[in-house]
Structure 1
């Protein structure tokens, strides 16, 4: 498949189904002198253990990645493959730390990671937001993204952090993060990037609040389950508000009819994951009883994306790489509305590696139905 290289960054895509063949194909595309790290996002259709072994056999450098609900490259959306980028050169350093057993992760753990990474810095002695940014890949079925990103952001301030929750298509069974070539659940990997090149983190969404409000009256917050809305079974009340039978609820409806909450001066999306047998609703973010939810409506997602790309190109006029974390529901909306071709045309001139997520991380918060990421510009040499 297509490959692209520029100044220590080399990207590639493979759609080969056999794990050994796919790993070898990626190596042929992205191997480069001085390669020290490979970041990749892969379809959950691969056998994770076999893929991990194949990648380690081909690459002798650090291997970091996760499973997806779809892959994204400069070709647009990719289905059932792997997208990857290799890093080399003296002016871009990758530090990583694997986090195991997320349920036991504490603020003190985050501070200890920060102390460890601070001692590894090459370009400065402290966390300087001008030449540092972070990325977090995390088990998307852990229900712990809010807690983990909050602790990490607190420990690494003032560094900006973006990231995505690993996914498994829309199976909602098992999501995995790859740390040094080993795939595992109940885990995350924090990646700290040092670079002398200019960069910009970004977040965009194409949703805005309507006048339709609803009150969460009973929840199981530990499981991100809303049991009742307006004192009625949550799924039935949500469907009534939409004017459809509850039997029609599913990913397509959820992607186009999310809800929002207001936090300080901004609106944050809260996406619905599934309907449960007891007519409760599972969410991709934590929801507490007493919250007022606002039904959201979308405006033109392609226009929103064009405007965001235009804005970023003013900040970084000649990007060498974009790493993007895009909600799986955005992919559904684009494809269900026949906009995949337009999306691909927007991506074709951008050196991009990314994936569709079960949730996005932006600084201290876990969000839904957004596109977040980082644009890296400048020259290596």
Structure 2
């Protein structure tokens, strides 16, 4: 059961008409003196009409993006979910990165300097008093460079983020800021708060003993041409014990690969087999990387442990904002575990969206839930 929040008002709307959807959404999230509104919406809306309606309803800062499905008290599709934040406890400072193709470390440093100058609860960037939220075009293939540049420029402030979706069309994804939807762009926001918070990364995979090494890759196109010196698709199929014609999206979702960075493991997912026998990934893959195939360790069990840890740490949860991979959504729909997952998410006042990719600090990942919990410590 979603519990009442003091400084956050949330909404979940399913409506085909853009004006009605935004009116219902605004009615539910409106509160006195709003610091800003964050929303996630279906890409099936007429986005021009939706942006016009949003502009008519709100005078405070509003940011959002299109999704591969919205997540509130339930996994919904074809609507809007989101929330407003009270200015008593929050400030939102937003920068537009448009076009993404021009963003680089130097631009990230300038962005950090500009945002730092506008802080209101602190005099300087402070990882204990603020966190970053990145919403980015999910078809840009620019997530790796963007989030790495941001994290390196923002003095270790924790960052979570999600790549916008368009259901499962893979045609065009958009982010919303300054009154309009944009493609080929990103929104980076620093959210200051007087409340305690904690960011987290959750995945339900661990490395197996099935190892492989990338021996041919084009990272800019996220394509792997060779694994262990052999054509990528056939070698991957042999490693997991299948014929190449049996490689399906379902196989890829249950047999991703993993990359070790420091002491942590991160999931790298495969999108498809190409006609030339190469593999396209959802993340950039570099030549020479050792990548063990992952094995699942229980979706609901790992989520339940994370929720229990959050509940032990926080006596009250204002909200949990989460960016959750579309492949995780597809997995629970197929397994029939959706009710159990929704039950766990409601315990932590979860709201977010199904993504085409996730960001955590400096890393772009797949098949992962990245999030931030805001509330009062126990």
Whether these two folds match at TM > 0.5 is yes
1:221–1:63 CA distance, 2 compared to 1 (3 A): same
For residues 59-105 of structure 1, what are the alpha-carbon distances to aligned partners after superposition, in whole Å with 9 as ceiling and x for unaligned? 222110111111111x2311222111011232211111111011111
1:185/1:197 Cα in 2 relative to 1: closer, same or farther (>3 Å)? same
Residue 287 of structure 2 corresponds to which residue in structure 1? Answer: 289
Alpha-carbon distance between aligned partners in 2 of 1:248 and 1:170, rounded to the nearest angstrom: 21
**Cα distance in 1 for residues equivalent to 2:248 and 2:44:** 22
For structure 2, list consecutive stretches of 5 or more residues without a partner in the other structure: none
Specify the alignment match of 2:8 in structure 1.
Answer: 9
- What is the Cα deviation at residue 38 of structure 1? 1.0
CA–CA distance in structure 2, aligned partners of residues 113 and 44 of structure 1: 29
Structure 2 residue matching 1:172: 3-state secondary structure: coil
Q: Per the alignment, in what secondary structure is the counterpart of residue 376 of structure 1?
A: strand
Higher mean C-alpha displacement, 267-276 vs 244-253 = 244-253
The 2-side partners of 1:234 and 1:171 are apart by: 25
**Equivalent residues in 2 for 1:190-205, closer than 5 Å:** 190-205=188-203
Moved more, 157-166 or 46-55: 46-55
1:300-356, Cα deviation, whole Å (9 max, x unpaired) = 110100100111122222101110011111111111111011111112333221111
- Is 2:77 the partner of 1:107? no
**CA gap 1:137/1:229 in 2 versus in 1, 3 angstroms:** same
Deviation at 1:366, TM superposition (A): 1.0
In structure 1, list runs of 5 or more residues that go unmatched: none
- 2:293 is paired with a residue whose SS is strand
1:18-57 aligned within 5 A: 18-57=17-56
Displacement over 6 Å in runs of 4+: none
2:322–2:369 Cα contact (<8 Å) kept: yes
Q: 1:247 to 1:57 in 2, by over 3 A?
A: farther
Q: Deviations over 1:18-73 (max 9, x none)?
A: 21111111012111121231101112211222211121122222110111111111
Corresponding residue to 2:225 among 213, 216, 227:
227
Q: TM-score, normalised by structure 2?
A: 0.95
Moved more, 268-277 or 293-302: 268-277
Q: 1:303 aligns with which of 301, 304, 312?
A: 301
Count of residues paired in the alignment = 377
C-alpha distance in structure 2 between counterparts of 1:272 and 1:290, whole Å:
17
Secondary structure (helix, strand or coil) at the match of 1:320 reads strand
Q: TM-score, normalised by structure 1?
A: 0.95
In the TM superposition, 1:87-166 aligns within 5 A as 87-166=85-164
Partner of 1:328: 326
Q: Is the 8 A contact 2:37 2:84 kept in 1?
A: yes
User: Quick check: 1:251–1:329 contact (8 Å CA) kept in 2?
Assistant: no
Greater shift, 7-16 or 346-355, is seen at 346-355
Alpha carbons of structure 1 residues 4 and 43: separation in structure 2 relative to 1, 3 Å: farther
The offset of 1:231, in angstroms, is 2.9
Three-state SS of the structure 1 residue aligned to 2:272 is strand
Q: Which secondary structure state, in structure 2, belongs to the residue aligned with residue 164 of structure 1?
A: strand
Does the aligned pair in 2 maintain the 1:227–1:234 contact within 8 Å?
Answer: yes
C-alpha root-mean-square deviation of aligned residues, in Å?
1.7
Q: Would the aligned equivalents of 2:307 and 2:347 in 1 still touch at CA under 8 Å?
A: no
Equivalent position of 1:58 in the other structure: 57
